[in-house]
Structure 1
Amino acid sequence: MFLYNITMNLSAQDRVKQTEKITYICMFGNIALAVLKILTGIFGASAAMIADGVHSFSDLVTDIVLLVGVHLGSAPEDEEHPYGHGRFETFSSLIIALVLILAAFWLFYGGVKAVYASFKGALLPAPYYISLIMAVISIIAKEAMYRYTVRVGRRINSTALISNAWHHRSDAFSSLGVLVGVAGAMFLGPKWRLLDPLTAALVSLFIAAVGFKIFKMAVSEFLDASLPKSSLDTIKKVCLSVEGVQNPHEIKTRKVGYRAVIELHIDLPKETPFETVHTKMSEIEEKLKAEFGEGSIISIHPEPLP
């Protein structure tokens, strides 16, 4: 569930600027982490750390996809797109989800393959302390990226940015798995070196679960799923707060990128002057935009009471 009242004072340009800022910061952070992880894995004899480094590179792909999606999605309405271009942002979330799922599959396959080799008698290499230290650094850095990104994403009501934040957290959990595996392989003896790839395989299942969650959310938006039930209650409450308005009904909602789309009917006394009807509709629209965001698309149809 997402809150829609957090974008009420943000323009499309503000959203793009904030998204670009956090995404560029994380892009440079991911580049540094990916390179350090791979080098650490090579020199620290940790296959799991190398895999974790490759996973960090997948974050770069999603960062680029996110920037493109937000830029395209912030384009104003035109004749062919009367509801704007917010679906581009939803589409970028879908790509992020697929990248997460593919990265999870890659980690799972590599981990299971190494575990199988160990059971067959292969002696896995023992990681060095540098891999342990790098895993701790990665966990701290990626969790910081997650918290920063998800905070901005919620403030500007960006599905794609929140999705990307979860990608950062999935990388943090991946590094946590590496930390456990490396520590076990280092301190429990040769027979337990399989903990490194085994833990990586288990963590990949969490990454896949996050990917499928984001995938489901993006697909729901593409299929015009309604806003949460709490939003319906809010719409009714707003309508009834305007004097004379009765029976808000036939309420239809959906989400286009960061924008809420709301269509509804209201009842008014049939003797109500046209100017008053227009004033009350405008009041409802202003209050709904205060709740769901200034960019919300609202359509109100008044009907006379018997």
Structure 2
Amino acid sequence: MDNEQRIKQTNLSVSLGLGANIILALVKSIVGILGSSPALLADGINSTSDVVYYLVVSVFVRAANKPADDEHPFGHTQYESVGALVVGAFVITTALTIFWNAIDTLLQVLQGKGDFNGGSQLALYVALGTVLIKIALFLITARIGKRTNNETVIALASDHRNDILAASAATLGIFMGRLGYLWMDPAAGGLVAFFILRTGISIVRESTAALMDTVPGKPLNDKVTALVGAVPGVQEVDSILAHRFGQYYIINLTISVSDQISVHDGDLIASQVEKTLLDSLPDLRSVHVHYHPRAQFRAEL
């Protein structure tokens, strides 16, 4: 996928999610309040926070799509990881807020305080509709995330998946509350918070790893060694140093060649190594190949 198409797909996923969450936030919050459902209100708060961080994400996505310049010769794609980190922070904050409110309501129900009598039928229908909408959004966003390998979009897909579980818990809680098990509605709100918190922690962990230049390590080294080792003239792969920025990698490679060849032939081998890696690894942006002659006695070891 070329960069222009990648940008279009990324913007599509953000726009769909933002539009859907604006509608869901309004509907769930209003119905959650009027329909006396802590679980649906908790899910409405979740969607409201989704709207906020979708707006934040759109800013980082635009920044990540800026072309390379003198100060950022490999582009600005690391903004995708920063955007994912912001998403994770918002998700965790939302989870803690929802959990506190749900526990407060649950304690009131168990102690016989307050006037909670269960959620309305409309609240149940809205929660069920949310499940269906979020399933569709997850499938679309996950597919785009897989195609573009955009960390921010992948994080948004994870959030949609989290919302499916949250809305399902809210639906079950409202349904059981209407059957007389009043404590299950606020308890479902607490369960919603747990799902949200788990996803938030996962997003923060993954985005932090990307910002710390974490690479696949041995799997990547093994693949590079196999590809480079198959290039005629390469006698040994001495070192592989990979650096990550956003979805892309830069590799600094040191290889050994025969000490009987000319500098020109060595350059040809290095160029072939570079071409082989760039053709074989779609997320590789640049390769720097250093070669040195291998002494005859080392070749015989």
TM-score, normalised to structure 1, is 0.89
**3-state DSSP of counterpart to 1:298:** strand
CA distance in 1 between partners of 2:133 and 2:195 (Å) = 19
Matches within 5 A, 1:4-83: 9-11=1-3, 13-83=4-74
Is structure 2 residue 240 aligned with structure 1 residue 248?
no
Matches within 5 A, 1:1-306: 9-11=1-3, 13-122=4-113, 123-187=115-179, 189=180, 192-293=181-282, 296-306=285-295
- 1:275 is displaced (CA, Å) by 3.6
- Check whether the contact 2:128–2:171 (CA below 8 A) recurs between aligned residues: yes
CA distance in 2 between partners of 1:228 and 1:69 (Å) = 28
- 1:149 is displaced (CA, Å) by 0.8
- Check whether the contact 2:45–2:98 (CA below 8 A) recurs between aligned residues: no
CA distance in 1 between partners of 2:60 and 2:230 (Å) = 37
**3-state DSSP of counterpart to 1:242:** coil
- Check whether the contact 2:29–2:44 (CA below 8 A) recurs between aligned residues: yes
- 1:294 is displaced (CA, Å) by 5.9
CA-atom RMSD, angstroms? 1.8
- 1:195 is displaced (CA, Å) by 0.8
- 1:84 is displaced (CA, Å) by 2.4
The share of aligned pairs that are identical, in percent, is 27
CA distance in 2 between partners of 1:236 and 1:150 (Å) = 31
4+ residue stretches of structure 1 with deviation over 6 A?
none
**3-state DSSP of counterpart to 2:266:** helix
- Check whether the contact 1:128–1:186 (CA below 8 A) recurs between aligned residues: yes
- Check whether the contact 1:108–1:201 (CA below 8 A) recurs between aligned residues: yes
Structure 1 equivalent of residue 298 of structure 2: none
- Check whether the contact 1:94–1:215 (CA below 8 A) recurs between aligned residues: yes
Q: Which structure has the higher relative contact order (CA within 8 Å, separation 6+)?
A: 1
CA distance in 1 between partners of 2:110 and 2:84 (Å) = 39
Count residues with an aligned counterpart: 294
- Check whether the contact 2:131–2:168 (CA below 8 A) recurs between aligned residues: yes
Structure 2 equivalent of residue 5 of structure 1: none
Unaligned runs of 5+ residues in structure 1 are 1-8
Structure 1 equivalent of residue 299 of structure 2: none
**3-state DSSP of counterpart to 1:175:** helix
AA of the residue aligned to 1:215:
V
- 1:193 is displaced (CA, Å) by 0.9
After superposing the two structures, state which structure 1 stretch, 25-34 or 99-108, moved more: 25-34
Give the 3 Å change call, closer, same or farther, for CA 76–248 of structure 1 in structure 2. Answer: farther
**3-state DSSP of counterpart to 1:296:** strand
AA of the residue aligned to 1:47:
P
